[in-house]
Structure 1
Amino acid sequence: MFKNLNEKDKKKIYSLLSLGIICVLALIIISCIPDNKNISDNNDTSQAQEPNTQEVKSSEEEDLEKKLQKILSKISGAGDVDVMITFESSEEQEPAYNSNTTTETTQEKDSQGGERTVTTESENKTIITSSSNTPIILKTNEAKVKGVIVVSSGATDSKVKETLYSAVQTALQIQGHQVEIYSK
């Protein structure tokens, strides 16, 4: 294959081939190693914190279910209560931004009397971070509840069922069609 090349060119080609093979092997080894570190990038801190927010989200949802279960079980006649809440969206956090907007307008006239106006707008946003390099949060929107199922041993009584129904609506500020009460 390399018969027509001189010795110097052959060494260059073999060196490049061996370097390429080493790079491919290194990429394969790196892709097989599990990545447990959170990569912190000043421009995209939300990606680095995503695994933590998943754990927090799950924990907050479970806490809400436990609180609701605890309060519903205290209702007279409710008995043993189990609660399941489904969420339409998760908790959203709105970070603080530094925003720079630039507007540039150019007017052009050609020799035939035509005019053209070009307006260019550009916006540059950067997330404001604290001294510990975490984003500063301006506002947090709670997770939106999609539906609630309550299973209660006392739900065979219509008055208890109605009380549980009203309690869930009031506690979570949701509409009636989002709540179902079943008896055990």
Structure 2
Amino acid sequence: MAQSRRRKGTGTVFKKTNGNYVYKYRDVAGQLKTITLKDENDQAVTVKSKAEIIAAEYAKERCRLESLGSKAEYIAKVAEIKKIIQHTALKNCDIWQAYLQKPNRPEFGTETLAIYQRCLKKFQTFAGEAEITEQLAGRYMVSLWNTGISSRTYNKHLQALKLIFRRLGIFAPTGRRDFRTVLPGLAFFR
């Protein structure tokens, strides 16, 4: 019985010396990646037929991701699949507490946290109860710049809001998760 070949560019399944099957493929950037295939119980796969089925699922998902139009769509989709981004409704007044409760946020001193909180409060005053969008963030940064603040102060606000919104994944649905993509013309004071 002839063995069917996998479509070109979809990777290879092979057995390592420890008896576990792995899936080897090239990612979008052309780098070689190898992952150990695991079953639904998170155990390494040791049966070739099962490994082929799991690898086919990986290949199908990779092909679907690679067909997305832009890098932002690709990153958003990967993050969604890996459950990095969680779409939750968050009121503007609850943003600071949500940020403080994030386990992956950087640890800062009390003074730095106070500065970040002041920057966020200014933004919240500007935003009111409106939904936070890229356009709203852009309008806020333009209005802040038009007040005549120094570039250093502008950058402090920009960095604080980028950090808070990035940790909370506020702009996640479109894949644009920070102000750099919102304000390419004004974020030149890095």
TM-score bracket relative to the smaller structure: under 0.3
Structure (1 or 2) with the greater strand fraction: 1
Q: RCO greater where, 1 or 2, for CA within 8 Å and sep 6 or more?
A: 1
Larger Rg: 1
